[in-house]
């Protein structure tokens, strides 16, 4: 497209942990709900409270590596308890799990910021890669509601418009993941980190924390979606484990020419994240039988439809 890409970023005051991408006029919108920031920080606290997570930071021996509550996934504890108490001032809320070591506590805040960065970049990607224009082009004669991407309600789009295929929405999600991942890593490798505490960390640790943040955010978004719609694994979103496996492959593809041992780095980081999953409980370790190779034709057809709508050209965003 010849038009310049313009995007307005901001927070949406809402307790729900959500994020969205849309377009009003010629301005794209990328918004994060304030509830998302709270959920992200609580999840980051839980991760750094595990002694095996980034053991080179602080004194991991000070951590007790507690398991999550069986009925509530980490990150959602405070939110769900608050909703269940209906805002009662005398309600007793169980405190979130927080790292004991002060250095690891600070690192959890850095991890949370990296997770939020991935969310912002993912939503920006939906606009820059033409996803929003594509969805809005499906409105018949300009009628009906404005179609955007709401991360907790993607399944609703399939029912809103008969022309929307859930597999196409998965394609859009994978593509936004790929672009957000590559940009997140590029920030570290190009020396563009603007958060002083993160920039002061060794380059290898910054890359691993960035990948860990992306794995965390992908698992958290899908877990939140399946929790809040009270159903398991809507077709519009890949399952958490499948999505992380795809992200691991994307990281190797995107960073293959950068001189780093990315296969080893991604395996190490994903393995460390799986130790966190082991502390959460099997009921939250969802997977499915989605095989992206089975839908290769759908993916390629979608890319062809998106080509004239893109504001940027992804470098083979969905690998073939």
SS3 of 5-29 = CCEEEEEECCCCCCEEEEEECCEEE
User: Is residue 320 one of the residues assigned to a domain?
Assistant: no
Domain count along the chain:
1
User: Is residue 209 one of the residues assigned to a domain?
Assistant: yes
- Between the CA atoms of 1, 192, 268 and 112, what dihedral angle is there, to the nearest 10 degrees? -90
User: Is residue 256 one of the residues assigned to a domain?
Assistant: yes
pLDDT digit string (tens) for 294-304?
Answer: 667 888 888 89
∠ Cα 109 273 105 (to 5°) = 25
User: Is residue 16 one of the residues assigned to a domain?
Assistant: yes
Q: What confidence score (pLDDT) does residue 112 get? A: 98
Ranges of residues in the chain with a pLDDT under 70 are 1-3, 71, 86-91, 139-147, 152-163, 226-262, 282-295, 315-320
User: Is residue 300 one of the residues assigned to a domain?
Assistant: yes
Give me 168's structure tokens: 């196409």
pLDDT digit string (tens) for 145-164?
Answer: 556 777 766 655 655 666 67
Q: Alpha-carbon distance 319 to 205, whole Å? A: 27
Q: Alpha-carbon distance 214 to 119, whole Å? A: 9
User: Is residue 2 one of the residues assigned to a domain?
Assistant: no
User: Is residue 315 one of the residues assigned to a domain?
Assistant: no
Q: Alpha-carbon distance 177 to 125, whole Å? A: 8
Q: What confidence score (pLDDT) does residue 141 get? A: 42
> Which domain covers residue 34, as residue numbers?
7-145+152-309
Q: What confidence score (pLDDT) does residue 267 get? A: 80
The answer to whether residues 117 and 198 touch, using CB atoms and an 8 Å cutoff, is: no
Q: What confidence score (pLDDT) does residue 161 get? A: 66
Q: What confidence score (pLDDT) does residue 243 get? A: 62
User: Is residue 44 one of the residues assigned to a domain?
Assistant: yes
Place of tokens 């196409």: 168
Give me 64's structure tokens: 């007790």
């Amino acid at each position: 497209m010849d038009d310049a890409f313009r995007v307005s970023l901001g927070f949406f005051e809402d307790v729900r942990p959500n994020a969205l991408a849309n377009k009003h006029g010629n301005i794209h919108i990328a918004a994060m709900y304030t509830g998302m920031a709270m959920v992200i920080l609580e999840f980051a606290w839980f991760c750094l409270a595990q002694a095996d997570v980034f053991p080179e930071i602080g004194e991991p021996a000070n951590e007790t590596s507690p398991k999550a509550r069986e009925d509530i996934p980490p990150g959602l504890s405070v939110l769900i308890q608050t909703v269940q108490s209906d805002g009662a001032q005398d309600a007793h809320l169980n405190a979130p799990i927080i790292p004991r070591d002060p250095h690891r506590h600070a690192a959890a805040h850095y991890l949370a910021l990296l997770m939020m960065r991935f969310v912002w970049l993912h939503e920006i990607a939906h606009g820059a890669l033409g996803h929003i224009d594509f969805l809005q082009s499906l409105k018949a004669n300009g009628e009906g509601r404005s179609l955007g991407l709401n991360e907790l309600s993607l399944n609703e789009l399939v029912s809103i418009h008969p022309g929307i295929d859930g597999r196409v929405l998965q394609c859009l999600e994978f593509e936004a993941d790929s672009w957000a991942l590559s940009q997140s890593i590029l920030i570290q490798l190009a020396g563009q980190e603007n958060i002083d505490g993160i920039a002061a960390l060794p380059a290898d640790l910054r890359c691993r924390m960035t990948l860990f943040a992306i794995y965390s955010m992908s698992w958290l978004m899908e877990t939140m979606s399946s929790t809040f719609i009270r159903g398991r694994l809507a077709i519009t979103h890949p399952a958490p484990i499948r999505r992380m496996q795809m992200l691991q492959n994307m990281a190797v593809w995107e960073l293959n020419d950068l001189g780093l041992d990315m296969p080893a780095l991604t395996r190490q980081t994903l393995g460390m994240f799986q130790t966190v999953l082991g502390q959460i409980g099997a009921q939250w370790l969802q997977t499915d039988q989605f095989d992206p190779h089975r839908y290769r034709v759908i993916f390629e057809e979608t890319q062809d439809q998106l080509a004239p709508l893109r504001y940027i050209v992804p470098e083979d965003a969905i690998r073939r």
